[in-house]
Amino acid sequence: MSSATDTSPSAAPASAAPALDVARLRADFPILGEHVNGRPLVYLDSAATSQKPRQVLQAEYDFLTHANAAVHRGAHTLAAEATDLFEDAREAVASFVGARAEELVWTSGATMGLNLLAYAIGNATAGRGAPASARFALQPGDEIVTTAIEHHANLIPWQELAARTGAVLRHIPAHDDGTLDLDAAASLIGARTRVVAFTHVSNVLGIVNPVTELVALAREVGALTVLDACQSAPHLPLDLQGLGVDFAVFSGHKMLGPYGVGGLYGRSELLDALPPFLTGGSMITTVTLDHAEYLPAPQRFEAGTQPVGPAIGLAAAVRYLDGVGLDAIHAHEKALAARMRDGLVGIPGIRLLGDAEGVERVGLWSFDVDGVHAHDAGQFLDDRGIAVRVGHHCAAPLHRRYGMTASVRASASLYNTVDEIDAFVDAVRGIRGYFGVES
């Protein structure tokens, strides 16, 4: 009953190539041929949501038209095939991030994954779960450490957990150039630290953070590490086991995949020890009117109907990224970031955030336009067919750190071209003059 789906990119070469054939890749993304306000679309908002290649769209369509059925429930042929596709998708996505299938919990996205983890730890603190769950319990005065550059999704769940348990929330500060203060981190992470949660790549600064050093500091004191990999999974080769983190999250819609699906990675022995967060069907072994026993991970955390079609689409997305090659993608996007920076720093009145020297980064820059609100700058660019993000990018504390409430963010992906970067820089050059604030 199944229908084979081609998930390979049009530009996939027989062997790894040092450069991308971007023109051929773009043919896989129908939306990139659109026009906005009479101009060819220049899409530089991939950090918010990436565009989807036809291979991803086709994979989800093929499932819905040839194998649509409830997974892990029915005994009929269609249900068995749907379950196989669903679990094959888990294998593919887990392998892509350097994990085993049993270490990957399907979620609706990174926000759901982080909330799941924080609430599960809270349930352990409340005495729920097996005896092994006690290792996660927090006591008043225990500490949760995050950083000053986090997306709200990796900040607010920990604020709430601290409020519920009496734990203390502490924050690793950032230097003016956007790099984390590792000396401060070493002094903050201590005997009372139980959780260290941090982003792999800042969604505002684009800087790749020092995972190895932070994991080492946490391990010295026996603290759990939680990695937000939303902005790294689509752009860098990712090996979560190799990085040594205990947990990690990512979102499908930022990595060429569908909306409504993402993953929570956790080391098997930790996931199996955590008490569940959401409860209901499909995550139990035995239920009486007064008691329930739960399945091991990952099914323990997958109550109710799962995002089957989106998961299959996400598997197609990671196969696509693998076909292009993460090393080639990173090199291409790094070159676009350098070209973007070279253009922006030469424009009077433009202030780049996170303009640190000698650090690894992805193809993302946020900036302030002197005398022009970010939303006005964004509208000016949109009028010219250029899609960027404006606002605080769900990182309000970081913007306050830089004395602002909003910035403009341009983020590139594998399908962007040098010509698009040049068109973007040329448009930015005209913003202040248009609003009459040029010095």
Check whether 18 has a pLDDT greater than 90: no
Q: What interhelical angle do 308-324 and 326-344 show, nearest 10?
A: 80
- The span from the CA of 123 to the CA of 117, in Å, is 10
Would you list the DSSP string of 79-117? HHHHHHHHHHHHHHHHHHTT--GGGEEEESSHHHHHHHH
Compute CA 247 distance to the chain's CA centroid, rounded to the nearest angstrom.
13
Do the domains 43-48+325-430 and 77-321 sit in the same CATH topology, yes or no?
Answer: no
Q: Where are the domains of the chain?
A: 43-48+325-430, 77-321
Mean pLDDT of the chain: 94
- The span from the CA of 345 to the CA of 355, in Å, is 10
Check whether 439 has a pLDDT greater than 70: no
Check whether 4 has a pLDDT greater than 80: no
What residues contact residue 187 under an 8 Å CB cut-off, 6+ apart?
A: none
**Confidence band of 15 (pLDDT split at 50, 70, 90):** very low
Please tell me the chain's helix, strand, coil percentages from 3-state DSSP, rounded to the nearest 5: 40, 20, 40
**Confidence band of 175 (pLDDT split at 50, 70, 90):** very high
Q: DSSP character for 296?
A: P
Neighbours of 367 (CB within 10 A): 24
Under CATH, to which class is 43-48+325-430 assigned? alpha beta
Per-residue pLDDT reduced to its tens digit, 303-323: 999 999 999 999 999 999 999
For residue 107, the cross-strand partners are 262
**Confidence band of 6 (pLDDT split at 50, 70, 90):** low
Q: DSSP character for 189?
A: S
Average pLDDT over residues 66-74: 90
- The span from the CA of 167 to the CA of 160, in Å, is 10
Tokens of 243: 């990085």
Contact 192, 143 (CB under 8 A): yes
Check whether 183 has a pLDDT greater than 80: yes
- The span from the CA of 63 to the CA of 210, in Å, is 40
Check whether 416 has a pLDDT greater than 70: yes
Under CATH, to which class is 77-321 assigned? alpha beta
Catalytic residue (choose from 394, 396, 434, 435):
394
What integer pLDDT is reported at residue 8 of this predicted model?
56
Check whether 156 has a pLDDT greater than 80: yes
- Give the 3-state DSSP-derived string for 119-161, with helices as H, strands as E and coil as C: HHHHHHHCCCCCHHHHHHCCCCCCEEEEECCCCHHHCHHHHHH
Per-residue pLDDT reduced to its tens digit, 346-399: 999 999 999 999 999 999 999 999 999 999 999 999 999 999 999 999 999 999
Check whether 2 has a pLDDT greater than 90: no
- The span from the CA of 11 to the CA of 355, in Å, is 33
Tokens of 298: 């990952």
Active-site residue, 230 included: no
Average pLDDT over residues 79-97: 96
Per-residue pLDDT reduced to its tens digit, 130-139: 788 999 999 9
Check whether 193 has a pLDDT greater than 60: yes
pLDDT over 70, % of the chain = 96
Per-residue pLDDT reduced to its tens digit, 210-247: 999 999 999 999 999 999 999 999 999 999 999 999 99
